[in-house]
Structure formats: C-alpha cells, structure tokens
Structure 1
Amino acid sequence: MFDQDKDTGGLQGKVILITGGTSGLGAQCVLRLALNNASHIYFTGRNTKKGSAIIKETHDAGCTTPLTFVECDLTKLASVKAAADKILSEQHRLDLLMANAGVMNQPPGLTADGYEVQFGTNFLSHALLIQKFLPLMDKTAELPGSDVRIVQLTSTGFRGAPSGGIRFDDLKTVQNFRVLGGMMRYGQSKLAAVLYAQELARRHPNIISVSVTPGIVSTELVSKQNAFHRSTIWLSAKITQGRIYSPKEAPASQLWCAVGPRNEIKQGAFYEPVGILSKITTKYTQDEDLAWRLWDWTQSELKQWLD
C-alpha cells in the first residue's frame, strides 16, 4: 500500500515541475515532494501571493528544497511559453512534469488564443509545456540512473466526451452543446489527456508517460459547481468510491504515478486511486487513429509557439 507521507523519497538530484501548485491537489503535491530533498521544484499558478504562501508553508515545515513559483496563465499560450522558457533558461534537466492544473464544467467561452476554454486550459496549454520540455526530458532520460516521468491528470469524466470523442472542427468555438455542455467539453479535454499520454509513451519510450485520476475530491472544482452538479458529483462519489476524497488524501494517486516503483508502472496507461490500472475505457480511449490525429493536430496548432 502506497503511503504518500512515507513513500515519496528518492528525489535527490531531481528537478520537478507541477502545474497548478498554489491550491488543491497541486499544492499538496508541492508540500509533500518538497520534504524529500529534490534538487529543485518549480510550480505554476496565476496568483503570486498564493505562490509565496506555499513557499513559506514548506519552509516553515522544515523543507530545504529550493522552490520557485512561476506565474503561468493556462488560458494564454504566450504565458505558458514564457513560463517554460524561464525554467529552460535555469535548468539542465527535468525529471518530472506533473500536469495537474485544470478547470471543470465551465460556461461556454474561449481562451485568449481562441480555443474552447476547457480544452485550451486542461489540455492544449499542458501539451505546449510538454512539447517545450520534451527535448530536455529526453536528454535527462539518457543520464545514468535517471527516471523521467510525465503525469497528466485526467478524470473518468472522459466518458462524457461528445460524439466523435474530440470535435476537432469546432475546437475554436465555444461548443455550446444544448444538454450538459459544460461536462461534455470537460470530458473532451480529459479524453485528450488520456490519448496524449498514450501517444507520448509510443513516441518517447524512455520517458514514463501516464494519465491518472485522483478520484472525486472536495476541491474548488466541486465546491464552485451549482447545486445540481454538486449533488450529482457527490452521488457519483458515493456510488463509485464510497465517499468523496479530501484534498489531503487524494494526491496519493498522482504521487504514486510520479514516484512509485518504475517497474510497476505500465507505459501509457490510465490509473485510478491508488496505483490501480483502470479498466474504465470507451471506444475513444482505445482509438489509436484518434490519438494519432490528436497528436498531429496539436503539433500543428502549437508550431508557432515551438519555433
């Protein structure tokens, strides 16, 4: 049984990046990993004051790991690129990239770059970060004793993705579906994370790439929903996992993927809490052609930010 308070060691010399590290699960991951002597931990967010508060909290807990908050707005690809460039200018290795940040069930809207807001925030901005760091992570994977990983947070909500799985032709619209539109758009973005993890594993076999759900957790993603969606989420939690997880216990799932035994992790897999190879699939999560198309579409959309 994985104990997130005791089994997150072995980080000496490693450089780590966690998105959305100023609150919720991301902040919990920063706090736990910081106590295990990594070489450097970077974490992103939009609120500098919250970033400073996290650093103070870790220092007050006796942490000596260097921590750096990097301002990054995932609704703006220029901000994502700037954050990546800052870290790349400072580091000669990257051992762990945890794509943790995300939004859920947002009203119809677009990112600053004109993409459906949940797809742009949850998937495309993280894809840009991953692509910016892949050359460095590939080099890190060649170092003796290295263990390089990319962990993407997803959700079993991918089952709610619209017909076709990913609606490429209208990703630059608000995709105002008539019924349960917010959750369909959310499901689409989380399906993309699952497929992208699979494709990364195929194309970069020296880097462990997985997707993982933390389960249903009592974070702001839930508390900010309207009464109908909150009750639906709570009922789903009771049926599927017996209860809703707290923000302090839920990080175990993604931490296991980040630091658990490498020989126990299946490349490209989707994991449930904790360290359970999920049997939850849809026809889209098993569609290799869709994964290839997503990869090609993403490369094309991000080309101007990678040159």
Structure 2
Amino acid sequence: MAKHDPARILFTGRNAKSAEATLQRIKSGAPNAVATFVACDVASLSSVSSGANQILTECDRLDVFLANGGIIAKPAELSTDGYEIHFASNHMGHALLAKKLLPLLEKTADLPNSNVRIIYTTSLGWRNGTLDPWKLKTPMEAAILGRWIRYGNSKLDNMFYAREIARRHPKVLSSSLHPGARSSGQIKTRGFYEPVGVFPPEDDAVAKDDKFAKDLWEYTEKELEKWM
C-alpha cells in the first residue's frame, strides 16, 4: 500500500513492538510514506472503540477501510466481552470499527473524485460456515474439527457483513475477498472474490445470505449499540 503513494496509512494492531517493525519495513520500502500505528485489539470492543476514536480525531477523510486482522483455528475460548473468540476477533471487532468509521467514509464519498471502499478479507472457509445466534456467547466447543468450524463461521460473517454494508450504505463500495495474487479489474459492490480476482458463481452465497445475513446484521447492531 505504501508504494502506491497514499496520503496516509493508518494500521491497527495489539503489539507495539511488531508495529514498530512494520513502520521500519514501510520506511525502507517507501521512504516518503506517512504511516501511523493505532493501538487496537480486535478481540476487545473497548480497545476497538478507543482505536476508532483516535482515527476519527486525527483524520478528516478516509478512503479505504481494509478489515484484514483476525485469528484462525484457535482453541475454544471466550473473548473479554463474552463472545466466541473467532466471532469476537474476526467479526465483532471489525464490525464496531466499520460502524464507527462509516460516517467519515460516507463523508469522504461525497467529496469530488472520491472512490471510497470497504474491503473484508475472508476465506474459502465461509463455505462451511453457518450462523447460530444462540451459540455466539459460548465457546462453541466441538470434538471434530471444532476450531475450523468456528473459523468458518466467522469468515461467513465477514462476507455477510460486507454485503450488508453495501446494501445499507450504497455510497460506499463494499466487497470481500479470499486473498489472491492479481488485480481483479472492475469490482462489483457486494461481491466476493476468489483467486485470482475471480467473481465466482454466487448460488451458495445467496442461499446463505437470504437465510442468515439479516439476522447477523440485526444481532450485531443490537450488540454494538452501547459502544457508539
């Protein structure tokens, strides 16, 4: 990103030592880039709220929000806020960050020559995901492939949330992707992209979207009210 000469990059994380190493890599690869570390642990909603407030204080525009942090296939655990840890880290933290930053993203979208985007990094694990709202505040322990099921659930959540943002906030181009290796050309809002920049058939996604996406959005909105 730094090599594309942005006005500024803000990146979040929970480890200040790793952040310093990242800043040094940015400096060596793009000496003129302006980068800022924002302390933010996506598994903690209080930390996310503080990080979002810092961004809103420091920035008068925001062109791209990349929801890229998270965990994969961790043991059964609850977050500090009482959610299954993958759901907390991969979905709820990013959802709060997006919710708090959306007014600034939409304000930027109203500016001339803007091209505002929200991009969620998901994975092919979404295909095995489902949404069980009554289990989201449990560790979701399972004897067989439990950690991968929990991960897949959270990746499905990422794809749904990007699609719902696009549906409800049309000023912003919102999509999700499984990391690929090449530019995909024209991006379709509400799209999900697989390597290498391919927009796949959506039958499976649409079937799950119709069943779960609205429920996920409404559950998330209700849970995040106290953090706004």
Please classify the TM superposition score into its range, dividing by the shorter chain length: over 0.9
Unaligned runs of 5+ in 2: none
Matched, 1:168 2:133: yes
SS of equivalent to 1:273: coil
Unaligned runs of 5+ in 1: 1-32, 215-249
Instruction: Render the CA deviation track for 1:51-102: whole Å, top value 9, x for unaligned.
Output: 1111122222342121001111111110011011001001011100101111
Distance 1:285 1:193, change over 3 A: farther
Percent identity of equivalent pairs:
42
2:168 counterpart letter in structure 1: R
Query: What does 1:149-298 correspond to in 2, within 5 Å?
Result: 149-161=117-129, 165-214=130-179, 252=181, 256=183, 264-279=186-201, 282=204, 286-298=208-220
SS of equivalent to 1:63: coil
1:134 counterpart letter in structure 2: L
Would you say how many aligned residue pairs link Structure 1 and Structure 2?
228
Distance 1:48 1:147, change over 3 A: same
Q: Which residue of 1 aligns with 2:225?
A: 303
Matched, 1:142 2:64: no
1-structure distance, mates of 2:193, 2:29: 30
Instruction: Render the CA deviation track for 1:206-241: whole Å, top value 9, x for unaligned.
Output: 211001001xxxxxxxxxxxxxxxxxxxxxxxxxxx
1:292 counterpart letter in structure 2: K
Aligned 8 A contact 1:104 1:186 in 2? yes
Aligned 8 A contact 1:195 1:285 in 2? no
Distance 1:283 1:129, change over 3 A: closer
Q: Which residue of 1 aligns with 2:6?
A: 38
Instruction: Render the CA deviation track for 1:143-198: whole Å, top value 9, x for unaligned.
Output: 0000000000111111222xxx2110110000112321111111110001111111
Aligned 8 A contact 1:96 1:150 in 2? yes
Aligned 8 A contact 1:116 1:175 in 2? yes
1-structure distance, mates of 2:122, 2:28: 32
Matched, 1:78 2:46: yes
Query: What does 1:109-124 correspond to in 2, within 5 Å?
Result: 109-124=77-92
2-structure distance, mates of 1:151, 1:121: 16
1-structure distance, mates of 2:49, 2:207: 28
Displacement of 1:289 = 4.3
Q: Which residue of 2 aligns with 1:57?
A: 25
2:80 counterpart letter in structure 1: A
1:101 counterpart letter in structure 2: G
- Larger mean CA deviation between 137-146 and 43-52 belongs to 43-52
SS of equivalent to 1:292: helix
SS of equivalent to 2:154: helix
1-structure distance, mates of 2:145, 2:100: 34
2-structure distance, mates of 1:211, 1:283: 12
SS of equivalent to 2:118: strand
Q: CA RMSD in A?
A: 1.6
User: Normalising by structure 1, what TM-score?
Assistant: 0.71
User: Normalising by structure 2, what TM-score?
Assistant: 0.94
Instruction: Pick the aligned partner of 2:97 from 120, 126, 129.
Output: 129
1-structure distance, mates of 2:167, 2:41: 29
Aligned 8 A contact 2:2 2:30 in 1? no
1-structure distance, mates of 2:124, 2:58: 36
Aligned 8 A contact 1:96 1:148 in 2? yes
Displacement of 1:285 = 5.3
Distance 1:283 1:56, change over 3 A: closer
SS of equivalent to 2:137: coil
